[in-house]
Structure 1
Amino acid sequence: MAELLSVHVHIPQKDDVWQLKSQCLGLNRNSSAHQFDNKLKYDLPRKRNLDIEFRDLRYSVKDGHHKKGRKEILKSISGRFKSGELTAIMGPSGAGKSSLMNILAGYRTSGIEGDILVKGKTRNLRSFRKYSCYIMQDDHLLPHLSVEEAMMCSANLKLDESMPQADKEKEVHDILETLGLSEHKKTRASNLSGGQRKRLSIALEMVNNPPIMFFDEPTSGLDSSACFQCISLLKNLAAGGRAIICTIHQPSAKLFMMFDHLYMLADGEVVYKGGVKHLLPYLKSMGLECPPYNNPADYVMELTAGDSGEDNVNMLMNSVKSGNLDKFLANETFNNSNRSSKSSINTESEVGDCIQIDASENTQLLAVSNGNASYIPADDFMKDDQDNSSDMGGDNECHTFNTSCFTQFRILFIRTFMSIMRDETLTRLRLISHLCMAILIGLLYLGIGNEATKVLNNAGCLFVCMLFLMFSALMPTVLTFPMELTVCVREHLNYWYSLKAYYLAKTMADMPFQIIFPLIYGSIVYWMTSQPSDFMRFVMFLTLATQTSLVAQSLGLLIGAATSLQVAVFLGPVTGIPLLLFSGFFINFDTIPIYLQWISYMSYIGYAFEGVLQAVYGFDREALDCEKAAQSPECRYVESENVLSDLDVSDAKFYIDFIALCVFFIVLRVSCYFVLRWRVKAQR
């Protein structure tokens, strides 16, 4: 694994340095120097400097009140976020800070005007996504994976395949040590605290050591201690040469002063962009002096929200547009450089600059791979790809990722299979429900399969079997897939894997369970209800039962991929009602009005029920048993042809029903994949 490059710190005075270091790393005066050294020795490798710049950036969305109108969210704003700096994007609600973050991270690509540059060149989105990451406000993690397992999945997907596994494990170990998660590496994500989940989200993206990192509200939901640890971590990451950009709503004064750069928005326009330490002097020069003992972050938020008057907001906007802010910052920087020419670490005037990187570190840029440091050419970070057309949120070719399609599929399959095995709802509960329902139905219809007087009851038994298999496969998929979709969107847009690999792994990992459970259920019901003792008929029955389960699961995947969780819960049962009505059990095909008969061809339950009747009563089955007199009307079903005729399936063909279910399965699975691509594109 990569050899770790330590951070060099200028030391003018021992006490001052200790005070600043301990503040950043959470140590007190009684902590030993050995403890402090252990905190720093796991610093991640330095990254090549990549500055991101935007000019005349505009962003608009459709206005809900006007069909043809558009609402402008960002109004021709410009700025530059430098590597080695911890940047905060702030502003009141509706100011456009989240929109700006999403645009810069590449999560928004439509309705945008203006230029976005990286190292002075127009950003190539696909290349940019390879060397950046976006950590969202909500920590979307797979709950059934441990910290170590999640990290190894990330390492195997994001690092080069040629890298030895031992080096990947060492890198994961070092990252967990750096973020204070090594003691929890065997803990599942569902059992982590809020701060630990946030650090794990950061650790997952730190595997390939991206030079640009975006954080959406990183302190959301954390207590004051966890907030300080989180911002201290971001500060240390920025000190390693990364550009760390995050939105933050209303930090405490202590956290606010840890930021290097502030980009303040109000109503889609810039009111301040510059160093945090220059904010209060600038506001004072504008006649807006922060009251004593007030939090500067609270004060500037009140100004931009218009609490002190709209005139002040307009004055700050005009100052930026006229260039007065740039002149002030230039003069302030010049004066500060003269005052601090003899020292690279200041005290109160340079709050937030806890660790200063030695300038000599920037003379040679290093990349670390397999324990050897090597020089990285500047253009390698932003190589242009040959094809950018597929980068609009759809799938990318697997070869553009660090791992092959097969490797992605293998890792994701193992991860998904492991999650399913540990999910009690998807495994134990499904198994228990199939066993219990099979025994219940078997006892209810015990031994009626070969009795001519109970043919209609037996038909009801067969229909209920298909009905249970449909809903038992449909509803869990409808509920679980939307919850994991957020993880898929985050990981795909952060360039972990292609959608093809994810979708195949997701569907293939659950397929063994969707086959085994119906086989267990069908076997119990078939023999308890005394269906024909013919192995071929038994196989035909189980085949259709399994196909019904797979088709229902495919429909659940499609509904879950196309809608939100709340809508999916409603649509799941509702879509089943028409399928049941037109299945042929409740009403014969000829009785259905002509203008509605086409719906019968869309009911896969109808094909399954029809095929099961053929398997049980078709193919010249021998005469059924009848306890009544031979001439009794109740014994007319001794001949199985009469059963098929009365149930309106005498002309049906088993192989047609089998092929129809296969077609339903393929069409629904392919449709689900394209819907998934559309959902990812819609996110952007």
Structure 2
Amino acid sequence: MGPSGAGKSSLMDILAGYRNKCVTGDILVNAKERDLRKFRKMSCYIMQDDHLLPHLSVDESMMCSANLKLTEKMSMEDKKLVVEEILSTLGLMEARHTRTNNLSGGQRKRLSIALELVNNPPVMFFDEPTSGLDSASCFQCLSMLKTLAQEGRTVICTIHQPSAKLFEMFDHLYILAEGQCIYQGNVQGLVPYLSSQNLICPAYHNPADYVMEVACGEYGDMVPRLVVATKHGKAEQFQKIKKFTNCEKVQHDLKESDLTANGKASSVGDGNETATNQSNGHLVTKVNGQGAGCDTTLLSKETDGSDNTALKLPATSDHDISQDSSSDEEEVECHTFATSCLTQFKVLFVRTFMSIIRDTTLTRLRLISHLTVGILIGLLYLNIGNESSKAFNNAGCLFFCMLFLMFTALMPTVLTFPMEMAVFVREHLNYWYSLKAYYLAKTMADMPFQIIFPLVYGSIVYWMTNQPSDFLRFVMFLTLSTLTSLVAQSLGLLIGAATSLQVAVFLGPVTAIPILLFSGFFVTFDTMPKYLQWLSYASYGRYSFEGVLQAIYGFDREPLVSNLKEQSMFMFHSGEDVLKELDVENAKFYIDFIVLVGFFILLRLACYLVLRWKVKVH
């Protein structure tokens, strides 16, 4: 607990293993150095913001979590029973068929917790679990966390300023101010400790409010003094540690508001559970090794289907979470997860495909825009494809086709991908799935739509504008149209993965400007200054435009139709004349095709590497 900027979230990130850069000191689990990979597999981190996929229902989200986090040996019926029990426990049964974007704040918070409860992690981290909730929802949320702790889990959470009722629910308190600890111990010892430091909490005043006022300096600069007192163990004399042997005793004492922390049933543990040696910078964390002895149901069963209870940490938890010198550092990424890469891919593919289908921006609006603009362009350039006097107009039509396909693929991806990034980071760092499985599923799920839409648009424009009635040329035109769309989408994925939403919205159109300028339509290649011609080779728009012109006017096309009534200085007798005028007579269709495929592969690979870098940064 502590005021804003005290370092609560930073400490939580370090403890949960989400932040490793620029951090000194040691983190010990059960008196041994922490193996970060194994620790993160046995823990989960529920962040302050509820990042959920908006187009999935509660039940669908839970089943995706169950299929990814529970072993493949477990039957589907057992997984459904686990999901139903969790939803029932958290009060989400009535909303199980509601999409997450229609849930209330409290329901979203409970769903975020439910998603991580599927595999019953023994250690759970919560960053501001009551943020954005009303008083009733806050009490329900913390009561649920208290129940989870009583069942044998270790629950650690940050909280900003709880009410007195909520404050008394915690077993162990660690107060931060200006990045340093000013008190650690049980809640009951806080007021006597402050009194010993000449800080008298007024009667009927919330101790949580009072200590926050102290930390903020309302009673003078007391923080350095409290830091020194805590470092010298002045708070230890106010700790009253009692031992409990079963759930009934814990619940009885809880009703009397006299529950003190112990290693078997606590939210964080007793006064020795989390200790900071501020003189040497060592952070020591002990994880409960026993459950509370409660009877459990399917929710409590080990995820591999055995009869052991997952609520109780294994007897070998020291080995499981601590550093293992014999562990294979070259272990394949997918093998560190509960399911295989193939299973992860299948679950993520179905989930991503369903989200795209239900997303009106990514499906219906895109389809309508391709149909509408295709018909509009077809009417505007109606039957000009074979007329010699309108070859330049036809070239403009072909260029606009590539331009439209470029922007309709780029912008939706730039807008939606950054919003999915938060979900991906949370799920990946909580060991749901590997980066490879996610990226492959994301790529493959959107591929059908990214192919169908350009085919629909290109078919309308090609025949309405009366381009050559040659099936091979038609296929070549559609191929380059589809490739242009795929390359633009790949660029959008890269921008979205590398930047935030605000930056991506700006960079998307900006990056398209040089691509269009150096495409060869506004300024031909020979007309460009020598020192800028190299930029033309980096523009995938150039290869799209060149390839389309070759498909329409190249390969010994039959003579163009000349309209004697409309004589013009730009009368072209053959397709070769048009290619020479546009300075693309030496272009090769197969080279343009290969280069566009290369752009597609290169951008997809770059996006994967950026995602990998982002995960490591976290």
Kept after mapping to 2: 8 A contact 1:447/1:529: yes
Distance 1:241 1:270, change over 3 A: same
Report the equivalent of 2:588: 653
Determine the structure 2 residue equivalent to 1:260.
171
**2:308 paired with 1:397:** no
Give the CA deviation at 1:636: 3.8
Per the alignment, residue 575 of structure 2 pairs with 640
Percent pairwise identity? 66
Give the Cα–Cα distance (whole angstroms) in 1 for the partners of residues 255 and 523 of structure 2: 85
- C-alpha displacement at 1:363, in angstroms? 11
Alpha carbons 1:629, 1:635 under 8 Å: kept: no
- Which secondary structure state, in structure 1, belongs to the residue aligned with residue 173 of structure 2? strand
Q: CA deviation at 1:116?
A: 1.1
Deviation for aligned residue 1:382: 2.3
Aligned counterparts of 2:165 and 2:364: Cα–Cα separation in 1: 49
Q: In terms of mean alpha carbon deviation, does 420-429 or 636-645 score higher?
A: 636-645
Which residue in the other structure is 1:208 paired with? 119
Partner of 2:587: helix, strand, or coil? coil
Matched residues in 2 for 1:290 and 1:184: separation?
A: 43
The alpha-carbon deviation at position 372 of structure 1 amounts to: 4.8
C-alpha contact 2:405 2:485 (8 A) present in aligned 1: yes
CA distance in 2, matches of 1:390, 1:333: 44
Is 1:327 equivalent to 2:263 in the alignment? no
Measured after TM superposition, the shift of residue 528 of structure 1 is: 0.1
Specify the alignment match of 2:281 in structure 1: none
Preserved contact between residue 277 and residue 351 of structure 1 (Cα < 8 Å)? no
CA distance in 2, matches of 1:520, 1:112: 54
Asked if structure 2 preserves the Cα contact closer than 8 Å seen for 1:636 and 1:642, the reply is no
Q: Offset of 1:399 from its aligned partner?
A: 1.1
Are the equivalent residues in 1 in contact too, given 2:244–2:250 (CA < 8 A)? no
Matched, 1:477 2:408: no
Structure 1: tracts of 5 or more residues without a match: 1-89
**Partner residue in 2 for 1:99:** 10
Asked if structure 1 preserves the Cα contact closer than 8 Å seen for 2:71 and 2:304, the reply is: no
- The one-letter amino acid paired with 1:381 is D
| Residue 314 of structure 1: how far off its partner (Å) | 2.2
DSSP 3-state at the match of 1:650 = coil
Q: Distance in 1 between matches of 2:161 and 2:330?
A: 38
Query: Can you give the 5+ residue segments of structure 2 that lack an aligned partner in the other structure?
Result: 267-289
Partner of 2:616: 681
Aligned to 2:278: none
Q: 1:400: how far off?
A: 1.1
Whether the 8 Å CA contact 2:378–2:461 is kept in 1: the answer is yes
Corresponding position: 1:580 with 2:525: no
1:437 to 354, 360, 373: 373
Q: Which amino acid aligns with 1:645?
A: K
Match of 1:373 in 2: 307
Distance in 2, Cα, partners of 1:335 & 1:492: 38
TM-score, normalised relative to structure 2 = 0.90
Q: CA deviation at 1:287?
A: 2.2
**More off after superposition, 636-645 vs 499-508:** 636-645
CA contact (8 A) 2:152 2:292 kept: no
Deviation readout 1:32-57 (Å, 9 max, x if unpaired): xxxxxxxxxxxxxxxxxxxxxxxxxx
> What corresponds to 1:128 in structure 2?
39
Contact 2:57 2:98 in 1 (8 A): yes
What are the superposed Cα offsets for residues 157-203 of structure 1, whole Å, 9 maximum, x if unpaired?
00111111111111001110110111111110011000000000000
State yes or no: 1:318 paired with 2:223: no
**Match in the other structure for 1:606:** 542
* Aligned AA (1:368): E
Secondary structure of residue in 1 paired with 2:181: strand
Q: TM-score, normalised by structure 1?
A: 0.81
Q: Which residue of 2 aligns with 1:3?
A: none
* Residues 546, 584 of structure 2: 8 Å contact kept: yes
Distance in 2 (alpha carbons) for counterparts of 1:350 and 1:661: 70
- Single out whichever of 107-116 and 440-449 deviates more from structure 2: 107-116
The whole-number CA distance in structure 2 between the counterparts of 1:251 and 1:388 is 44
Partner residue, 2:20: 109
Mapped contact 1:258–1:352 kept (Cα < 8 A): no
**Aligned: 1:142 with 2:53:** yes
Choose from 454, 460, 471 the match for 2:390: 454
d(CA) in 2 for partners of 1:360 and 1:129? Answer: 20
Alignment map for 1:276-287 (pairs within 5 Å)? 276-287=187-198
Map 1:275-424 to 2 at 5 A: 275-310=186-221, 312-329=222-239, 332-333=240-241, 345=253, 350=258, 361-362=292-293, 368-369=302-303, 372-374=306-308, 376-379=314-317, 381-382=320-321, 384=324, 397-424=333-360
Task: Give, as a single letter, the amino acid of the residue that structure 2 aligns with 1:196.
Answer: Q
Residue pair 2:241, 2:260 contacting (<8 A) in 1 also:
no
DSSP-derived class of the 1:587 partner: coil
User: d(CA) in 1 for partners of 2:539 and 2:415?
Assistant: 22
Give the 3 Å change call, closer, same or farther, for CA 398–371 of structure 1 in structure 2.
closer
- 490, 498, 513: which is aligned to 2:426? 490
* Aligned partners of 1:127 and 1:385 also within 8 Å: no
Cα 1:368–1:633 change in 2 (3 A) is: closer
For residue 96 of structure 1, report the CA deviation from its aligned partner.
1.1
Tell me, in whole angstroms, the C-alpha distance in 2 between the residues paired with 1:343 and 1:437.
67
* 2:106 equivalent among 195, 210, 218: 195
* One-letter amino acid of the structure 1 residue matched with residue 468 of structure 2: P
Q: 1:568-614 deviations in whole A, cap 9, x for unaligned?
A: 00000000000001000011111111111100001111100000000
Q: Which residue of 1 aligns with 2:404?
A: 468
Give how far 1:283 is off: 1.6
Could you tell me which residue of structure 1 aligns to residue 507 of structure 2? Answer: 571
Give 3-state SS (helix, strand or coil) of 1:549's partner.
helix
Q: Which amino acid aligns with 1:133?
A: C
* Matched length: 581
Offset from partner CA, 1:413-447 (integer Å, 9 cap, x none): 00000000000010000000000000000000000
Partner amino acid, structure 2, of 1:463 = F
User: What is the CA distance between 1:243 and its match in structure 2?
Assistant: 0.9
Amino acid at match of 1:653: K
> Which structure features the higher share of strand residues?
1
Q: Distance in 1 between matches of 2:548 and 2:196?
A: 84
* Paired residue type of 1:529: T
CA distance in 2 between counterparts of 1:635 and 1:303 reads 84
| Contact 2:40–2:431 (Cα < 8 Å) also in 1 | yes
CA distance in 1, matches of 2:196, 2:166: 24
Q: Which amino acid aligns with 1:350?
A: D
The separation in 2 between residues aligned to 1:342 and 1:389, in whole angstroms, is: 42
